[in-house]
Structure 1
Amino acid sequence: FSVITDYEKGIKYPLADFNITPDVAIVDPELTYTMPAKLCAHTGMDALTHAIEAYVSTAGSMYTDGNALHAIREIVEWLPKSYQGDHEARAHMHDAQCIAGIAFSSGLLGIVHSMAHKTGAAFTGDHIIHGCANAMYLGKVIQFNAKDERARSRYAFIAKDILHLEGET
């Protein structure tokens, strides 16, 4: 696990540890119905990044891939309607976000999330929201990671077969 150190007191505090991992998650879409659109967009981009990074991760497997790809499909379909406040879309997004979390809990995340966490911490006065930071970094990280053949083929699968984007590169 990672730690943060309080140098004045000489104490190290864990940032992540299995002892602080929840045993139960409440996945109730009603909790999202009053969420502001901006927060919906940011959490949606966070969930999409979770799913994409889990799918491209070298720690991924066929067990994580299915969840990651399904989450990507759901997010791409339902995020625009969820942003507009549609309750059915919010329910789909809530489930997709949970499924993306399941994918990355075993498949792990990548550098997008690492940089987004550090950006949010560095700009505490003019806070950069985590999901927004993910969205800002995702394209550049995809370009960088696509130098690796395995990553490139996985990004291409997402682009062509899931997002139905045209293009050859």
Structure 2
Amino acid sequence: MVNRMILNETSYFGKGAIKEIVSEFKQRNFQKALVITDKELIKFGVATKVISLLDTAKISYEVYDGIVPNPTIQVVKEGVVAFKKAEADCIIAIGGGSPIDTAKAVGIIVANPEFEDVLSLEGTAATKNPSVPILAVPTTSGTAAEVTINYVITDEVNHRKFVCVDPHDIPIVAFVDSDMMMGMPESLAAATGMDAMTHAIEGFITKGAWELTDMLHIKAIELIGRSLRDSVAGNQIGREEMALGQYIAGMGFSNVGLGLVHGMAHPLSAWYNIPHGVACASLLPTVMAFNKDYTGEKYREIARALRLKDAEILPLNVVREAAITAISQLSKEVGIPSTISELGVKAADIPAIAEDAFRDVCTPGNPREASVSEIIDLYQSLL
């Protein structure tokens, strides 16, 4: 079997890493950037940390700040127009998954205009050209959008999210700077952090997992497990460790896929605009329980990474339950709702939502196959 790994060309890590953006821009002979971000990041001075560096270095740029949570087809189309109007030759994406995912879609469409309808990018579209160069600056510790070949767009008309998987979309440079993440409120740190934990666990047990990605996911689980609480509390070291942990998880899952948690989370966000990380976290323990008998010794390895007592010697069925309980407790401690009814999910919608989850591109990667009726049962158990 042949396994493929695709990663960033260059990444910078640590406090102050964004200062390298000027040298990267100039060394690559870029002339003008379109900065893609959102109004809140500008309002609260997060994006301006990067913009001020551009101003000082006299780098030419224009800003598109029309990004919304769970970015839509229309947002992407507006971004394409903004890029062309700016006559830019690169994109600087500042934010969490929404700005960076939008930047990927914009960059791909500018380089491959035959996909300008956006919808045709779903799945593994046969794009011919690499994206417009993207320099990515994450401001959350969770999505790993800066290192993955995936992005997610919302089709508002049909109440669905669709996943795009394209090696051509990966940012050429990432700047993973904990200073950029210190502005996250506790709720966002918790949601994105549990999204990262979901990436690590699903990537570890997905059907496509192999030794190299297993190594990455286990280290990510260890880092996230020990640092998420501190990150949520606003501790800088915790946020720096989370920034690294979520990036490492992204290195793995981007190359092997995810599973049913993400398959079920995407329609929840599309139907109710639930933050993606919250949707994932609310589902994770239940789906872990659903999968447990199809994972071999992997839950023992998760338990070891979480430093659970006697993980080495406990019977397999016991250590599996201990790993699930530990994840459930972590989620509870950082304030994630334990039921989806708390998120506004309506019982009457579940059959249609389950159909969307069954068709989601992430669902086939799950270690245990799930029917529509089983997905309905899982949703209903969380009401």
The answer to whether TM tops 0.5 is: yes
**Is 1:140 matched up with 2:286?**
yes
Q: Which has the higher contact order (CA 8 A, sep 6+)?
A: 1
**Paired letter, 2:305:** I
Secondary structure in structure 1 of the residue aligned to 2:243: helix
Q: Which has the larger radius of gyration?
A: 2
**After superposition, where does 1:116-127 map in structure 2 within 5 Å?**
116-123=265-272, 127=273
TM-fit CA distance, 1:152: 4.4
**Is 1:13 matched up with 2:13?**
no
Q: Which has the higher helix share?
A: 1
C-alpha separation in 2, matches of 1:80 and 1:139: 18
C-alpha separation in 2, matches of 1:152 and 1:165: 20
**Is 1:96 matched up with 2:245?**
yes
Count of residues in correspondence between the two structures: 156
**Paired letter, 1:60:** A
Runs of 4+ in 1 over 4 A off after TM superposition: none
> What do residues 34-63 of structure 1 show as CA deviations (whole Å, max 9, x unaligned)?
111100000100000000011111211110
Report the RMSD for the aligned CA atoms in angstroms: 2.1
Q: Which has the higher strand share?
A: 2
**Is 1:25 matched up with 2:132?**
no
The residue that corresponds to 1:65 in the other structure is 214
TM-fit CA distance, 1:137: 0.9
Question: Normalized against structure 1, the TM-score is what?
Answer: 0.84
TM-fit CA distance, 1:122: 1.1
Secondary structure in structure 2 of the residue aligned to 1:146: helix
Match of 1:154 among 298, 323, 333: 298
C-alpha separation in 2, matches of 1:13 and 1:107: 22
C-alpha separation in 2, matches of 1:130 and 1:30: 23
C-alpha separation in 1, matches of 2:291 and 2:181: 33
**Paired letter, 1:14:** L
Match of 1:131 among 273, 277, 296: 277
The residue that corresponds to 2:187 in the other structure is 38
**Identical aligned pairs, as a percentage?**
37
> What do residues 27-86 of structure 1 show as CA deviations (whole Å, max 9, x unaligned)?
111110111110000010000000001111121111001110111001011110111101
Secondary structure in structure 2 of the residue aligned to 1:25: strand
Question: Normalized against structure 2, the TM-score is what?
Answer: 0.38
- Please, which runs of 5 or more residues in structure 2 have no aligned partner? 1-71, 75-116, 123-163, 322-383
C-alpha separation in 2, matches of 1:18 and 1:88: 32
- Which moved further from structure 2: 79-88 or 106-115? 106-115
TM-fit CA distance, 1:14: 1.1
The answer (yes or no) to whether the contact 2:219–2:305 under 8 Å persists in 1 is no
